Amino acid sequence: MRNKLVVGNWKMNLTVAEASATVEALVRQLGHRPDVEVGICPPYLSIARVRDAIRGTPIKLGAQDVFWVDSGAFTGKVSASMLRDVGVQICIVGHSETRGKFGKLEVPEHTLGHFAETDETVNLKLKALLYQSIDPILCVGETLAEREAGDTDKVIGDQLRTALRDIDPDELFSGVVAYEPVWAIGTGQTCDCAEAERVCKLIRDNLGETLSAEAAAQMRVLYGGSVKASNSAELFAQPNIDGGLVGGASLNAEEFARIVMTA
Ligand code: PEP
């Protein structure tokens, strides 16, 4: 039996003071729900403050990205051992906002290198996180163009295969995969429940083939993409959707708590 998990991705939002106020409000709203796991992924600068505010609660401390080398001359990067040192327990990798050239990123060509995460670097990041015993939240998903071309299943299969290459299945039991259709992220356009369930089931089947039957049964598969309190109950009721990765709606403590309550 997999516990539901709801993770908030605050992206590049909230000052340290705002992060503090938001997480304190969230702790007040949530009370004690032992059957639902909750995680918060603040910007790096707010991680320590959020850690202090959630101490003694079951909320997990998260990060939004990581670099795969442990230390050295990599200006601006943060390693898995640094995340571990401040108490991070979960970390997003392969979010469409950090992957390269996804259709949603309307950025000038000369800045694309900044978003150039590939399935290969996602694989390196996963290994670095697992080495530090941090649970990865691996994001996969297709762009609108890929969906319209009928390539959704192939894109997701390819992303999973490369990202999970040479990873010991036993290390991933508490790891998470998030199905995040790129066209649904931050657009208000949620994926139809039946289709989200179909793709999450496909992901689970794929985990069974790539890793092991046990990993597929134990790992949580989340849905992400314009999740709100008004649509979360139906999404989370699907047999292969074990909760959600929530962006915009996680910035409001009340709305996020309502989403958690539906899980
Ligand atoms: C996300 O950032 O992972 C996400 C799903 O964003 P939103 O909920 O805003 O669509």
pLDDT for 34 equals 63
Q: Which atom of ligand 1 is nearest to the CA of 185?
A: 10
Hey, which residues does 244 pair with through a beta bridge?
6, 223
**Per-residue confidence (pLDDT) for residue 90, from 0 to 100:** 98
Tell the residue number behind the tokens 């790129």, with chain if given: 182
Six-digit token pair at 257?
Answer: 């708590």
Alpha carbons within 13 A on the beta-carbon side of 28: 9
pLDDT of res. 115: 75
Residue of 226, 241, 250, 255 best suited for mutating to test ligand 1, as the one with most atoms within 8 Å of CB: 226
State the distance from the centre of ligand 1 to the C-alpha of 182, rounded, in angstroms.
9
246 CA closest ligand 1 atom index? 8
Cα dist from 54 to 47, 50, 68, 96, 198, whole Å? 11, 6, 27, 28, 35
Which stretches of the chain drop beneath a pLDDT of 50?
A: none
pTM for the whole structure: 0.95
What is the CB-side half-sphere exposure of residue 249 using CA atoms within 13 A?
A: 24
**Can you give the pLDDT at residue 32?**
65
